[in-house]
Structure 1
């Protein structure tokens, strides 16, 4: 049976942290601050406003003085100022002029990332705005100017704690348990086998589903009619019970009451039964168990069994065991080896003896 591999799915998130704030700075009586022809710089500033855990000011200089070349200054200056000491902040900045008639704003300056450092000259970011913009628009109307300042402060990224994805646990398949109980209760049994004088009952459909040999025997052209028990020759009742247990449960019986030697003998008989009824998975399970339990006294017997029932992997394992353990003489002294010479092909025996001689050389 296939069992779904246990798995878990978790998630965590690395997310940049930002905080945005908007401040409107209304300048009323604009012309009173910067009368035409005035030469003195009269920079004004907003009150402090908080964004991202820091305090800021918006500053503006609209004086109509001279520029560095001596020409009339045709622009005004606006800036954003970080308040405080020993502060370093990364932020983005956008300055807009608010239309006094319709309300929409015009972006006059925008920077995606600035580092404000109160210990350096970079504590302030400034921009220039063409003065002619005020003459042809309604951004300066009724002697009023409104500057909109949008600051987005970048903070330390935050990694969220690991969370478990929601999941619904599905228990392992229990179909084998249901079929196993089906065999135990004998409810609905419709076929009886006589095995060594013992009657054992089962369900035709289950047997036919698991074994092509049973399917042909129970539903094929040669099926036996009537209600008489089907006689099974050359299989011990306990072995046939083990075969039925595997058919219904897809696992071997526990065999807790068997000693080690008896357990090995039972597995050999089950391998023969599995081969007889074309139960490939059971046959492979028996080979695996016999391979794990190889030892000098039984390896020859197991090799003969493997050769007789076309278990190539088990046969190779037996030969390799004899070679690796350098125990050819001990194996040759066992009764199983004598039987091996009678039943196995001469090619296998010659290969064993030749390999043994090479190892001793």
Structure 2
């Protein structure tokens, strides 16, 4: 029956690779409780109290707290910072600074990321909490306040490459298997007589492809004796052969006669009769392509 339209070369499988980045770090928390806060209130901007040092990621850290703020801003805010006391320069961190009540309730919290380039440097939040809010908190908290820092120090990054060898999948040859089955007449169980030609086919293949054929060939109330051939009187043998080709291979056969508008119109009508929407659409597309100055006057619309 020849080659089919729409054939394309198989897609080429490629080797696929990917990689994963792993970041390792050390995490620890330190809580710094400041008692007798009323005695510190009014100590002036730039004056601080600091926690003891804690060791995280092979570095020593402390929390510095400025009750009246790091810089002069009218005493409106208290400031809190994390300071690198000892360690290698270029330490990458992320951390949170939280202001806690005596029951552990969080009143303020900031999240920060910073690379500490040298020892003695600090980084935090200049306007950590409003003094008015802080004073209300300590008045209900036995004149004390707690600043908690949860610190993660990045130690190293590593990237691992993963290679995936994709086994190439052969292209689908289902249509070729069905074409061979039709050509070799393997397991045929119904014969159609069209004009002076006979076509031996598989009733379940036709029934699976077309609701009309399903009723005609499988419905016990309509199907004829399965041993008798089915006579087809409303189409020529070449049209029926093209129909079978489509039913088994899902494509139209290639040939000059098929490209004629009269043949396409007949196939379109057959496709509509047997509820083959794809066949109808393919015929419509080819008919549209065939419209030109010579055919437009005779083309049916």
Tell me the TM-score normalised to structure 2 length. Answer: 0.48
Query: Which is strand-richer, 1 or 2?
Result: 2
Structure (1 or 2) with the larger CA radius of gyration: 1
Tell me the TM-score normalised to structure 1 length. Answer: 0.42
Q: Which has the higher contact order (CA 8 A, sep 6+)?
A: 2
